[in-house]
Amino acid sequence: MTKSKVDYNCSKCPGYCCTYPRIVVTDKDIARLANHFGISEDAARLRYTRQYEFESDDPDEYVNERILKHRKDHIYKTSCMFLDPEARRCTIYEGRPSVCREFPNGKKCGYYGFLKFERKHQDDKEFIPSA
C-alpha cells in the first residue's frame, strides 16, 4: 500500500494544533511520556496532564478526559507545554501522544490551507493570524 502525499508542511506552521485547548491523552500516551522522560507513569500523569471535566444538562455534552497541560504562549493565549515557544516545534516529538501523531487525520490540514492563503494575500511569508 502506498501512502498518499500530504498537502501541508508543519515546518511552515506556528504550531496551531498545539494550541488546541484540549489535547487528549490515553493511558498508552502517558506510558509513552513516562518512558520518554524516564519517570513513572504516575509521575508523568501528574507532571504533564490534568483531568478535564465538562458537565451539562445534556448528557450527550458531558466530557471527562485527561489532557496535556498548557502554558502561556506569546502568539496564542496558551499552548501545549511541550511546544517550543521560539522554534514552534514539539520538544518531545518521539514521545508525543497519539492524537498528535495522527493529526490532521488526512492529506490536508485546514489551518495550513488557511495560513498559505493568508500569507499569499497579505504578501507576508511569515504572517501569523492572531487569536
Tell me what the mean pLDDT of segment 39-53 comes to: 97
pLDDT over threshold 90, residue 43: yes
Is 91 a domain residue? yes
Q: DSSP per residue over 48-67, as a string?
A: HEEEEEE--SSGGG-EEEEE
Average pLDDT, the chain: 86
**Cβ neighbours of residue 18 under 8 Å, at least 6 residues apart?**
79, 80, 82, 83, 90, 100
Is 1 a domain residue? no
Is 126 a domain residue? no
pTM above 0.85, yes or no: no
The tens digit of pLDDT for each residue in 75-125 reads 889 999 999 999 999 999 999 999 999 887 767 777 767 777 777 877 877
The model's confidence at residue 55, banded by pLDDT at 50, 70 and 90, is confident
CB 91 within 8 A of CB 37: no
Is 83 a domain residue? yes
CB 28 within 8 A of CB 48: no
Task: State residue 9's pLDDT score.
Answer: 74
As a whole number of angstroms, the distance between CA 53 and CA 50 comes to 10
Task: State residue 23's pLDDT score.
Answer: 94
Segments forming the whole domain that contains residue 67: 19-103
The model's confidence at residue 130, banded by pLDDT at 50, 70 and 90, is low
Is 14 a domain residue? no
Q: Exposed e or buried b for every residue in 1-36, given b needs 16+ CB within 10 A?
A: eeeeeeebebeebbbbbbbbeebbbeeebbebbbeb
Task: State residue 121's pLDDT score.
Answer: 77
Q: How many domains does the chain have?
A: 1
